[in-house]
Structure 1
Amino acid sequence: MKYSVIGLPHYVIWHIYEPSNDDLKHMEWMAQEEVRLQKEEVIYSVYRKIFDDGFENVEEDWKSEKPRILRNTDSSKLGRIVNVDWSDADIMDQRTINKKILKDKLSELEEKTDNKKKEPLLE
């Protein structure tokens, strides 16, 4: 090893020439980590290839279609005032309520007539 030891503290010199057990363990861990990262990169490259083959990239299509799809969603940005006539909505609600009331009354009448048929006449 071509290290110069002039001006270095003694503990640095010792570690350069003779690593400790902790240093050896750390170097072993670093080597294992490097192998693991290489394997992981191979696996990710396979996943990326499968993903790219399995799914079509529609980002460019979305960029062109997005303004057309979303142009009517927020009228405040367009400066366009949208007026909706809700006056007939109350009429429809009232009609629905009236129909329900009529159905309830009819069912009550049917129940009364059924009860009258079942009760014996008292004389």
Structure 2
Amino acid sequence: MKNNYIDKRKSLINWIKDRQYLLERDFPVVSHKFEETNTPKLFNELSVDEQVVLVNWVLTTLKPIKTFSSQRSSYEIKHIFERTPLGFYVLNGAMKGAMLIAGYQIRNEKEINWTFNISERSISRAYQLG
């Protein structure tokens, strides 16, 4: 059982590393005073353990949909995560990075707080779990 957990963790670490190229492009920032807390590249400043916990939470808690029906922002999602049992403080940019790595699409990358193609039901469930 322990080896299975270790193997899955290593696989997730490698999967995250393979997708970090998604954070390398330059995203527009509404104002440069917000850039230091809102760039998705901040995900790379998290420890490997923090990256694994955050991406695992996104992958197992939130559910993608084809449309952008939810008005829930990256800022709100980060606060939901922070209130979970394994949650910790993350900057808005780090949450944006985790969402990109997990495969979510951005509605309008020119906004400070991004909205994604997330199921409203999964957001409601995340509130209940947190």
What TM-score range do you get, normalising by the shorter chain? under 0.3
Greater relative CO (CA pairs within 8 A, separation 6+) = 2
Could you tell me the TM-score, scaled by structure 1's length?
0.20
Considering fraction of residues, name the structure with more helix.
Answer: 1
Could you tell me the TM-score, scaled by structure 2's length?
0.19
Query: Which structure has the larger Rg over C-alpha atoms?
Result: 1
